[in-house]
Amino acid sequence: MARIRLGMVGGGNDAFIGGVHRIASRIDDRFELVAGALSSTPEKSAESAKALGIERSYGDFDEMALAEAAREDGIEAVSIVTPNHVHAAAAKAFLAQGIHVICDKPLTSTMQDAADLEKAVADSKALFVLTHNYTGYPMIRQARDMVASGELGTVRLVQAEYPQDWLTSPMENEGVKQAEWRTDPARSGAGGSIGDIGTHAHNLACFMSGLRVESLAADLHSFGAGRTLDDNAHMMLRFAGGARGMLWSSQVAPGNENALKIRIYGEKGGLEWSQEDPNYLWFTPHGAPKRLLTRNGAGATEASQAVSRIPGGHPEGYLEGFATLYNEAADAIRAVQGGADRATAMGVLPGIAEGMEGMRFITACVSSSANDAAWTVL
């Protein structure tokens, strides 16, 4: 099957997530990156494009959207990998041209931008995929399956945590670009750790459990001197249907590199998954021995096998999980090109709805915390 012609906005030199998107788009050989507006100036963009072997470089995303839409061999989809405050405008430019959008999370930096983007998606026939990449891990798919098929019984508890340590010391004052924009409200939005990683934990907890957070009580804090956005967030959760939970996101917890972990407990059993060891899933049926499920190992469900590339014991990682979203996006793009219904084509891919939910999550966190951790509805 022919590769999908892909463009990219953002992701020039030094950017972390742009490189990740590029590798992810290549792993399953479904995309070919042919155009980009990779940096903030036309010169830098052209330089990055050349270094990466990308044919067409543009000065900005508006120019790119128009020009590519006008070409017969123009891009069919675009990856948006800029800081958060650029997401909305860039996405709208491509959606307006009917070009499918694959956008990094969180959705936008403000609720107003989010609402505008939501409308733009509604008005477009193009797909909008939000890269909540952790949903692409095979064992996450298996966990979601197992919960949905009732292996845990009614879910009672969801414990989510996402500690990191990279902001333990004040990196943003030491010229680290990643730290600069992630601690800057103008570029990141109202959430610090909750926007950067808390939204991942929230999204994943809901994806796995099949539940929606109805309200939360949050205590946000900045430990870093002079830091305005939260670098640590504690919160209690209440889910629709009666389940309860906790969520902890932190970027000041030394020894935690990227320690996203979700635990779900129901009347009949529990599940436990850690992002740093993603090929494993603990399943603990109540009253029976604990079982360590492995990717593509004995007991792997169809949903898990479908997104697994190599045999059990040959570890897949972060890039493969990310690639699964690209692979499924490719399927979805080809499906809508073939006339399929947009919602059906999306399948379990995270999109605008998950993006809006994430924005409500950030907003509720900030509001609850400002209100002395009062319970706040999402």
Binding residues for its own copies restricted to 106-135, rule: CB under 8 A: none
Question: Binding residue for its own copies (CB under 8 A) from 140, 253, 262, 333?
Answer: 253
According to the binding rule CB under 8 A, does residue 286 interact with its own copies?
Answer: yes
In this structure, what are the phi and psi dihedrals at residue 159, rounded to the nearest 5 degrees?
-110, 115
| Residue nearer to its own copies on the CB measure, 175 or 343 | 175
Task: Specify the residue, 28 or 60, whose C-beta has the smaller distance to its own copies.
Answer: 28
Residue 308, exposed/middle/buried by CB under 10 A (0-12, 13-18, 19+)?
A: buried
Minimum CB distance to its own copies, residue 264 (Å)? 10
Please identify which residue in 318, 346, 351, 376 interacts with its own copies, judged by CB under 8 A. 318
The answer to the question of residue 276 lying near its own copies (CB under 8 A) is yes
Nearest CA-CA partner of 356 in 212, 141, 187, 144: 212
Kindly tell me which of 121 and 218 has the beta carbon lying closer to its own copies.
Answer: 218
Provide the token pair at 155.
Answer: 């879910």
Interaction mask 6-25, its own copies, x per CB under 8 A: ----------x--xx-xx--
Rounded CA-CA distance 253/256 in Å is: 6
If binding is defined by CB under 8 A, does position 342 make contact with its own copies?
no
204-238 exposure pattern, b = at least 16 Cβ within 10 A, e = fewer: bbbbbbebebebbbbebbbebeebebbbbbbbbbb
Any contact of residue 202 with its own copies (CB under 8 A)?
A: no
Nearest alpha-carbon partner for 19 in 51, 57, 63: 51
The minimum distance between CB 366 and its own copies, in angstroms, equals 16
By the rule CB under 8 A, 272 interacts with its own copies: yes
Binding-residue pattern over the window 143 to 162 for its own copies, x denoting contact by CB under 8 A: -------------xx-x---
Phi, psi of 218 (to 5 degrees): -120, 145
Return the range that interacts with its own copies (CB under 8 A); candidates 5-13, 60-68, 84-92, 230-238: 230-238
- Exactly one of 42, 59, 185, 285 binds its own copies (CB under 8 A); which one? 285
Candidate segments 37-45, 97-105, 217-225, 338-346, binder of its own copies by CB under 8 A? 217-225
Note whether 237 and 211 are within 8 A (CB). Answer: no
Residue 93 amino acid letter: A
Name the minimum Å distance from CB 259 to its own copies. Answer: 7
The answer to whether the CB of 190 falls within 8 A of the CB of 184 is no
Member of 60, 62, 165, 331 binding its own copies (CB under 8 A):
165
Tell me the β-bridge partners of 236. 217, 246
Candidates 72, 175, 298, 339; binder of its own copies (CB under 8 A) is: 298
Query: Least separation, in Å, of the C-beta of 123 and its own copies?
Result: 34
Among 294, 301, 363, 376, binds its own copies (CB under 8 A): 294
53 belongs to the binding site for its own copies (CB under 8 A) = yes
Taking the complex as a whole, the smallest distance from the CB of residue 72 to its own copies amounts, in Å, to: 20
Contact 289, 260 (CB under 8 A): no
* Contacting residue, 44, 60, 96, 282, with its own copies by CB under 8 A: 282
Quick one: which segment of 71-79, 115-123, 192-200, 285-293 binds its own copies (CB under 8 A)?
285-293
100 phi/psi in degrees, rounded to 5: -65, 145
Nearest to 38, CA basis, from 129, 27, 21 = 21
The dihedral sign for the CA sequence 128, 133, 134, 139? positive
* Least distance between its own copies and beta carbon 212 (Å): 18
End-to-end CA, the chain: 42
150 vs 138: CA distance, rounded Å: 19
